[in-house]
Amino acid sequence: MINRQQLLFSCFLLIVVQGAEIGRDEFYYGQLPENFTWGVSTAAYQIEGAWNEGGKSEHIWDRFCHEGHVDLNMTGDVACDSYHKWQEDIQILKEVGVKHYRMSIAWTRLIPDPIGGEVNPEAVKYYLSLLSGLKTAGIQPMVTLFHWDLPQVLEDYGSWANASIIPYYKHYADQAFGLFGHLVKYWITFNEPWVITWQGYATGEYAPGIQQPATLPYKLAHNIIKCHAEAYHLYDQKYRASMKGLVSITLNSDFFAPKDPSNPAHVEAAERAQQFSLGWFANPVYKDGDYPQVMKDYVRRNSAGGESRLPEFTEQEKAFIKGTYDFFGLNHYSTSLCEPTDAEYQARVLPGYTRDMEVKLSRDPTWHKAASYYLFYVPWGMRGVLNWIRTSYNRPPTVVTENGVTDNNGTLQDSHRIEYLKTYIDELIKAVLIDGCDVIGYTVWSIMDNFEWARGYTEKFGIYYVDFDDPQRPRVPKDSSRFYKQVILNRGFPNPEIVG
């Protein structure tokens, strides 16, 4: 049986996937409101460098890189050297004309000893200088508290699987809010908890490189959601009245579309995959304080002995978590096609999350592939996932906090990136102006080439080129930076002449 939510999902797929009256691949000329905010993104470990300067302590990515787990033994020790070149960073942000800059604070820089909890004055000086410089330049900081760089000492104490981490995270959030909140309008508690839990502790592709897929990701996710709620309520009770900021979480998701939209089993599989991916973290925060029912049902039936491997929230915890958002933060890059699994497929996938979901994922062989293994050009997926959020969570104000595409060479003539950004932004415009999605901001990943986690410097997302062989780390504009500048100036694509 297909329930009402799945029926709605199928209905808007007829528009987004099959085309209907609007045309899936038809370019739509439109202009977003003046108060729409355009930005670019980075993260502390990917750009700051100075890994052991200014009082900073070791985090899990320092350890992971120094143990040689990254391509070509690359590290983020220097990265883009933004710790020393933040003024140049602000200058290129001004050149592009962005309205906001999404960045993160390094927990190990601000509080080098999270057990002791003392704030590092050198870090306070650095971040105050950066944030003040952004405000002077007319650029709104959008600050992520945790972008994957967990203090190594907390990893050694049991990481996110240990509930004792919650007060340490809350203390860190309290210090950041109190020190920098007068300069920050947008706060993001966590970046992509799906990636933290699955790629860090199930596949081991990312730091800390642990491979315990059956149960550990669910345990970690449970405490991350609690940490998020603690930070939200802390800000709400202690800082909101005076600082008037917004607090939320950023979640990553493909758009999950049925491989055969006319097949009800494929439609149901796509909805299940979307719930397991985005709903895992969004449902507790944006809906009812609990995991999606389909996720609870499928994990329980795939758990030995009848006891689910998915932890349960108490009724008090559900009430505490529900509604802990001021906007919906979304990172979106690509799309997956879905169909039900069979026994042979189930036997091949990792135990735990991927086996519990019972969905076979694939890509259309005609889709253009980027440098990253997971990234295919599927612009209509942007409109699809924004509509899924609209229908599932009662049209929350949404900020696309990351969207971009990779190559391997960092070419300045990056027409492929222009095409990607143009088509994805256009689908966002359709979602707003045609479908009624409440999207209030869009953010390109990234302002410059940087340390791309396990791929090191071999994959490049930037709209500015960085020469990592040059000690000065010069930033050189790519064609895409000039294209994005025009998009911002015109608030989209008001007429064919603007698109080019």
Q: How does pLDDT run across 300-333, given as a tens digit for each residue?
A: 999 987 799 999 999 999 999 999 999 999 999 9
Whole-structure pTM over 0.85, yes or no?
Answer: yes
pLDDT at 2 > cutoff 60 = no
Q: Quick one: average pLDDT of 7-17? A: 46
What pLDDT sits at residue 359?
98
Mean pLDDT within 403-421: 98
DSSP states along 343-400 = HHHHHHSPTTHHHHHTEEEE--TTSPB-SSTT-B--THHHHHHHHHHHHHTTS--EEE
* pLDDT band per the 50, 70, 90 thresholds, residue 498: low
CA distance 396 to 412: 37
Among residues 192, 32, 43, the alpha carbon closest in space to that of 99 is found at: 32
The answer for 176, left when phi > 0, alpha when psi is -120 to 50, beta otherwise, is alpha
Nearest to 372 by CA among 337, 405, 340: 405
Interacting residues of 8 by C-beta distance below 8 A, sequence separation 6+: 391
Q: Which of 89-103, 209-223, 345-359, 415-429 is least confident?
A: 345-359
Q: Using one digit for the tens of pLDDT, what is the confidence trace for 170-205?
A: 999 999 999 999 999 999 999 999 999 999 999 999
Average pLDDT, the chain: 95
CATH 3.20.20.80 assigned to 27-490 = yes
Question: What pLDDT, on a 0 to 100 scale, did the predictor assign at position 499?
Answer: 63
pLDDT tens-digit readout, 250-278: 999 999 999 999 999 999 999 999 999 99
Give the catalytic positions in this structure: 192, 402
Q: What is the pLDDT of residues 374-399, one digit of tens each?
A: 999 999 999 999 999 999 999 999 99
Is residue 479's pLDDT more than 60?
A: yes
Please write the tens of the pLDDT for every residue from 23-38: 788 999 999 999 999 9
Question: Is 50 exceeded by the pLDDT of residue 216?
Answer: yes
pLDDT tens figures, 87-99: 999 999 999 999 9
d(CA 494, CA 99): 19
Q: Is residue 21 pLDDT above 60, yes or no?
A: no
